[in-house]
Structure formats: structure tokens, C-alpha cells
Amino acid sequence: MKKRPEIGTTLWSVHEHLYYIPEKAAPVTEYCVCESKVRNYIEGNFTQICSVGKDPDGYGALHYFKLSDLGKNVFFNPKEAAELAKQVTEKYEQTWGWMGDPPLRRTWEVYL
């Protein structure tokens, strides 16, 4: 079993974000690195981490992660989260690049 981070510990995670620009009718995708602080734990068939932070739009949000996701999808520092965001951004562009869309925004580059 993984060691639980203490209440108040800062965690970093990657979130898919859809936003609109005036030139396109359809939403545009980007991947963002978001910060949150551990608030409590939820016990059940597995342990969930409940953390509070901001979503990619800047609004307050609750984030729920499995304890087993630490080091995979949830990280203790922003650099590791930015590396994951880079991977998923590049995979998205490789998969959907044939459609002629411009490259995705890279708001996570400041953490690399």
C-alpha cells in the first residue's frame, strides 16, 4: 500500500481542457497542469484522495484521485506533471494532426 500524503500536501495533475476561440465553431483541446492540496481521504473498495484546487479555467474545484495513481497521473512536483502533459499533447497531435489543426497550446512548458 502506498504511503498517504499528509493533509495539505500539494499535488500536481494533468487535465484535458476544452476552450473556444472565435475563428472556430468547435472547441479546441489543450492539456493543463493543475495544482491542488490534499483535503481528505475517502475509503471504500480503494482509497481516494480528495484535493481542492483550481480547474484549468481558474475556478475552484475538487479533484479525486486513486491513491494508486500517485506517481502515474498525480505528482508531488510540477515538472513530472508537465512531462506527462507533454506526452499526452504529443500523442494527441500525432493522432489528430492529419486534420490540419494548429499545434496545441503548451501552457505547461513553464514547469519544464
Nearest to 45 by CA among 17, 23, 67: 67
Residue spans of the domains in the chain: they are 1-80
pTM of the complete model: 0.89
Amino acid at 86: K
Q: Mean pLDDT throughout 62-79?
A: 95
The rounded Cα 77 to chain-centroid distance in angstroms is 12
pLDDT at residue 2 in the model? 65
Could you tell me which residue, 53 or 1, shows the higher pLDDT? 53
Q: What pLDDT, on a 0 to 100 scale, did the predictor assign at position 24?
A: 83
Confidence of residue 54 (pLDDT cuts 50, 70, 90): very high
Q: What is the pLDDT of residue 102?
A: 84
Phi, psi angles (nearest 5°) of residue 45: -65, -25
